[in-house]
A = this chain, B = another copy of it.
Amino acid sequence: MAKILRIAVLSAFLASSAVAIEASAAPPLESLAVTASSLGQKALDDPAAFAFVESLTTEIGQRLAGTEAHKRAVAWAEVRLRQAGFENVHSEPFTFPAWIRGAESAEVVGPVPQHLAITALGGSVATDANGIEAEIALFRSYADLLAAPPGSLAGKIAVVTQRMVRAQDGSGYGAANPIRRSGPSEAAKRGAVAYLLRSLGTDSHRLPHTGALNYENGTPRIPAAALAIPDAEQLERLTAVGPVRIRLLLTPMAHENAPSWNVVGEIKGADRPDEIVLIGGHLDSWDLGTGATDDGAGMAITFGAARLIAGLPQHPSRTIRVVLFGAEEMDFSGAAYAKAHEGEANKIVIAGEADFGARTVYSVQLPPGAAGSDFGRTLGRIIAPLGANIDRRPALGSGEDIRELQAGGVPVASLHQDGLDYFDIHHTADDTLDKIDPKQLDQAVAIWSAFTYLAAASDVDFRSLAATAK
């Protein structure tokens, strides 16, 4: 694949470049595009990104924020960034409420005894030491749970088995997210003593998908866990046999004010070093797998892109800052970063997080007004032969860690990766290195390197493009 792409990139670029030179007097973007395009080609054969995630998942493995393993990952990342030629490598500490998984098990007690594959949701409180045993109230849709009157679930374990939709853009996850995030408190409001949901996933394996919940203030906190998808379907069938009783045991622990770190490395800008192109992924992972695709891959992609740029004979004008966020899964590192860099937000030209797996980028969304600008058109020509387009609709957001920056006025880009099978393994024990296709990962590095270089080497001003677009 790499060879075919390389030839396509070259010829496509030369053709478009020639046209552009004829049409106008070689605008700066056109000359930068030659470098951006060759970075993209180089990325297709660069083993650095895969080596990054291979080393991380092998030598560290899981790295849930708040664990010793995450601490080791922070040290590993600093070494890795320095070795790759990044400058100003450091870790910025913050504290957050950590959550550590304990024992977890669930059994159907009746009508017929059976084991259930479950995993606690991040942030869940523990059950009693001996577990909870109760009859279930099963809802095939979340709307049905919300329609249940207060008190109607008194003493019961609420179970929601709504299916999540498979979609390339991950929209099924967004739509289903409240079932996991808000379901526990909604069930508690109606009297439930515990909450189970069909995993937010698209697979059919006995490997449940964890993920964070958000308890509502003023509502009792009840233990909550995700069922593997075959187990959710089994409960649907069992309810037809007779009343279903479940014994649930969860013994997680919470630790207020646990330490974490956002790890930073930079490629200092040659001309305007105080203007920043901020890219990155998150270093923390869930604890069930080794966090290969979530988010070893995202870090590897942005690291790989920045590293290629660092290897150029001359640094781009602006600084490229790679941030490896330290508590994304618990929703804390983005806020910590934004708060620590409040005074600097207006210097961040654009920000983007890669946090959607290891597959190819198929479209790039830019801030409002940028898709149709010289910047957007030039980037579009570079990435088209690599298999990606500029989506003319503006980026609505980027990764979770960028949300607070965006709220503070920082323009964001969203590089969409193919997520059709992302939720087969997302937040499960199956998130391991073997799920990554190095060739697809390299294509993502190619798109990110072209985008990042063009943003850092040009004088594109996304804020004024957005203002003009209004």
For A72, the chain B residues whose CB sits under 8 A away are: 112
A185 CA / B433 CA spacing, docked (Å): 32
A399 proximal to B (CB < 8 A): no
Q: Is the CB of B204 within 8 A of A207?
A: no
Interface residues in A432-451 by Cβ distance below 8 A to B read: 432-435
A112 to B435, CA, bound (A): 21
For the complex, count residues of A whose C-beta is within 8 A of B.
35
Interface residues of A in 49-66 (CB under 8 A from B): 54, 57-62
Q: How far is the CB of A206 from chain B (nearest CB, A)?
A: 4
A227-244 residues at the B interface, CB under 8 angstroms? 229-230, 233-234, 237-238, 241
B432/A230 in contact, CB under 8 A: yes
Contact of A433 among B54, B206, B230 (CB under 8 A): B230
Partner of A206 from the list B60, B234, B238, B289 (CB cut-off 8 Å) is B289
Q: Is the CB of B237 within 8 A of A58?
A: yes
Residue A140 is within 8 A (CB to CB) of chain B in the complex = no
Which chain A residues in 142-185 approach chain B with CB under 8 Å?
none
Chain B proximity of A151: nearest CB distance (Å):
31
Is A114 close to B, CB under 8 A? yes
The answer to whether B206 and A117 have CB atoms under 8 Å apart is: no
Shortest beta-carbon distance from A424 to chain B in Å: 10
Q: Is the CB of A61 within 8 A of B112?
A: yes
Partner of A233, one of B111, B230, B238, B433: B433
Chain B residues with CB under 8 A of A430: 204-206, 230
- A132 on the B face (CB < 8 A): no
Q: Is A429 interfacial (CB-CB < 8 Å)?
A: yes
Q: Are B433 and A241 in contact (CB under 8 A)?
A: no
A112 and B59 in contact, given A233-B433, A434-B233 (Cβ under 8 angstroms): yes
CA distance A114 to B204 in the complex (A): 25
- Evaluate contact between B207 and A432: CB separation under 8 angstroms: no
- A residues 101-128 touching B (CB-CB < 8 Å): 111-115, 117
Quick check: B241 and A59 within 8 Å, CB to CB?
A: yes
Shortest Cβ distance from A287 into chain B, in angstroms? Answer: 9
Known: A230-B430, A432-B234. A58 touches B204 (CB 8 A): no
Complex Cα–Cα for A57 and B238 (A)? 10
Q: With A and B bound together, what is the CA distance between A237 and B51 in angstroms?
A: 12
Do B61 and A114 touch across chains, with their CB atoms under 8 A apart?
Answer: yes
Q: Which residues of B contact A429 (CB under 8 A)?
A: 117, 206
Whole-angstrom distance between the alpha carbons of A69 and B113 in the complex?
A: 9
Min CB distance, A395 to chain B, in Å? 33
**Inside 8 A of A57's CB, which chain B residues have their CB?**
234
CB-CB nearest in chain B for A236: B58
User: Which A residues from 245 to 292 make CB contacts under 8 A with B?
Assistant: 289-290
A234 touches B58 (CB 8 A): yes
Whether B204 pairs with A206 at a CB distance below 8 angstroms is no
Q: A58-B237, A59-B241, A237-B54 are in contact. Are A432 and B112 (CB under 8 A)?
A: no
Q: How far is the CB of A408 from chain B (nearest CB, A)?
A: 38
CA distance A428 to B289 in the complex (A): 18
Residues facing B in A184-214 (CB within 8 A) are 204-207
Identify 22 residue pairs between A and B in the complex whose beta-carbon atoms are under 8 Å apart, listed by A's number: A54-B237, A57-B234, A58-B234, A58-B241, A60-B112, A61-B115, A62-B114, A62-B115, A72-B112, A204-B432, A204-B434, A204-B435, A205-B205, A206-B207, A206-B289, A206-B429, A206-B432, A207-B207, A230-B432, A233-B433, A233-B434, A234-B433
4 pairs of A and B residues whose beta carbons are closest in the complex: A206-B429, A230-B432, A61-B114, A58-B237
Beyond the given A233-B433, A234-B432, A237-B433, please list 17 additional residue pairs across the A-B interface where CB-CB is below 8 A.
Answer: A58-B234, A58-B237, A58-B238, A58-B241, A59-B241, A62-B114, A114-B290, A204-B430, A205-B207, A206-B207, A206-B428, A206-B430, A207-B207, A229-B434, A230-B430, A233-B434, A234-B433
Which A positions have Cβ atoms within 8 angstroms of B?
54, 57-62, 69, 72, 111-115, 117, 204-207, 229-230, 233-234, 237-238, 241, 289-290, 428-430, 432-435
